[in-house]
Amino acid sequence: MIINCKWIFDGNTLHKDKAIFIKNGEIASLHLLKKFYPEAHIVDRDGLCTPGFVNVHTHIELSHLKGKLPKGKGFFPWLKNIIALRKMPISNKRRLDEAKKAINTLKKSGVAYIGDVSNTLSCMKLIEENFKGGAVFLEIYGKKHIPHLEQKTHLPLCPSPHAIYSTSPEMLLKIFDIHQKMNTPLSIHVAESTEEYRFVKKEGKMYDFLKTIGFLKELPPAKTPVQYLERLNIIDKNTILVHCVHITDEDIDIIDRRNASIALCLRSNDFIGAGFPPMEKILKGSINISIGTDSLASVDDMDFLKEIQFVFKKFPFIDPRFILYWATYGGMKALKINPHFSYPNFIPVESNEPLEEMLTESTEVYPLSSTSPENHPQNPLP
C-alpha cells in the first residue's frame, strides 16, 4: 500500500506532500513510488500520517472515576480521595462500559499500542481485543505475594510496583528480579509529588501517615525518589519512570546512564496540580521519552491527540517532531515493541486547530527543505 498524504512523520522528519510505501517505509514523491511499485494500492488522504500512537501509561479500569476527583488540590489530597473512591462498590458492567468508552476515545485519537496499569485485570480481555500490542502492568502494592502470571496473549503481563511509598524495598527487589529474568518492561510512578521527595527523607505527611498505619519498616537512605530506586539498583533499560516531575540534575544523569525511559503524563500533572517535569534539563541528555494519558481519575478525557498538543502548548520550545517521536517510537522503545511504521494513523489537520499550529510551527522553525534531521542538535533517532 502507498499512502499519499499532506504530511508524513517517519520518526524523524515531517515530510510535506510526499507518499510512503508502507511495506518498507520508503518515502518519496507519489510519482516516483508509483513507478517503483506499480502494483501497490494507493490511498489518498489529507492531514498528517504517522505510525500508530503508543499510550505508555494509563489505567483503563479506573475509567469509571471520570469527573469524580477534585482538580488542582495537590497530590496527597488526590491520593486520599482515590483510595476512598476505589473502595466504593462498582458493578462489573459499569466498569466495563466506562472502560469501553475510554478505549474508543484512545483508538479514535490514533492509539494502537498501550501500557495499561491494572490491579484487577478486569479489563484485560478488552485491552487484548483493541490494541495491537504493548504491556499490561499488574500493579503490586505492599503485598507479600506476587502471583504467577501466565503469558497468554500478544500483551505481556508484567508485575510492576505502584510507587516507592506503597511498595516495600524487599518487594521492589523481587519485582525487579522477575523483570530481569523475563526481559519485560517495568513501570513505576516516581517523583510525581514533592511529598514523595519528603518521603525518602523520612519526613512529611505521607511518611507520617504510612508509619502510623505500620506500613514502613526500614527505608534505604536517599536524597530523591530516583536515587532511592538507584540505591536499590532497580533502574535499567526496561524501566519506565512515570511522571518524573520533581527530579534533580543528578536524577537526570542516573536515568540517562541507566538507559531508562520517562513517561510524561502532563495533563495528569496539571489536573492534580503536581507541577511539571524540568523538560529543558531532561532534553539535554539522551533519555528515551514517551507519552501517557494516565487515567480518567486525573485527566478529563482519553484523547491522545490532546495529550500531544498539551506537551507542545506547555513547552513550545520543543521541536514538534520530538513530541511526535515520543508519541510513537519513544513509546515503542519504552514498551519494547520493535520500531516500525504500521497501523498508519491519519489525523485530519484542518479540523484540528492546535495540531495545525504545531505543524506550521515546525516548518517555520526548521524548514524541511534546508534542515536535514541529522544536523539537528536533538536528533530524535537513535
Tell me whether residue 79 or residue 355 sits nearer to Zn ion (CB atom): 79
Min dist CB 239 to Zn ion, Å, is: 15
Which CB atom, from 230 or from 294, has the smaller least distance to Zn ion? Answer: 294
Give least dist CB 242 to Zn ion, A.
Answer: 6
Residue 98 or 294: the one with the smaller Cβ distance to Zn ion is 294
- How far apart are the C-alpha atoms of 270 and 243, rounded to whole Å? 11
Phi, psi of 298 (to 5 degrees): -140, 20
Residue nearest to Zn ion (CB): 294
49 touches 3 (CB < 8 A): yes
CB of 152 to Zn ion, least distance (A): 24
Residues 171-190 contacting Zn ion, CB under 5 A? none
Instruction: State which residue, 113 or 366, has the beta carbon closest to Zn ion.
Output: 113
Q: How many residues bind Zn ion (CB under 5 A)?
A: 1
The answer to whether the CB of 309 falls within 8 A of the CB of 281 is no
Q: Which of residues 151-170 bind Zn ion (CB under 5 A)?
A: none
The single-letter code of the amino acid at 359 is L
Contact 56, 268 (CB under 8 A): no
Closest by Cα among 306, 339, 294, 310 to 115: 294
Nearer to Zn ion, 115 or 330 (CB): 115
Q: Regarding beta strands 111-118 and 133-140, do their DSSP bridges make them parallel or antiparallel, or are they unpaired? A: parallel
Determine phi and psi for 35, rounding to 5 degrees: -70, -45
Count CB neighbours of 150 within 10 A: 7
Q: Binding string, 33-52, against Zn ion, x = CB under 5 A?
A: --------------------
The CB-of-105 to Zn ion minimum distance in angstroms stands at: 17
Window 272-311: residues binding Zn ion (CB under 5 A): 294
Least spacing, CB of residue 257 vs Zn ion, in Å: 25
Rg, the chain, Cα only: 21
Closest by alpha carbon to 2, among 71, 49, 72?
Answer: 49
Give whichever of 243 and 333 is closer to Zn ion, judged by the CB atom: 243
Least separation in angstroms between CB 337 and Zn ion: 20
Q: In what order do the strands lie in the sheet with 26-28?
A: 26-28, 14-21, 2-9, 42-50, 345-347
Question: Considering the complex, what minimum distance in angstroms separates the CB of residue 328 from Zn ion?
Answer: 21
Nearer to Zn ion, 22 or 163 (CB): 163
Return residues touching Zn ion (CB under 5 A): 294
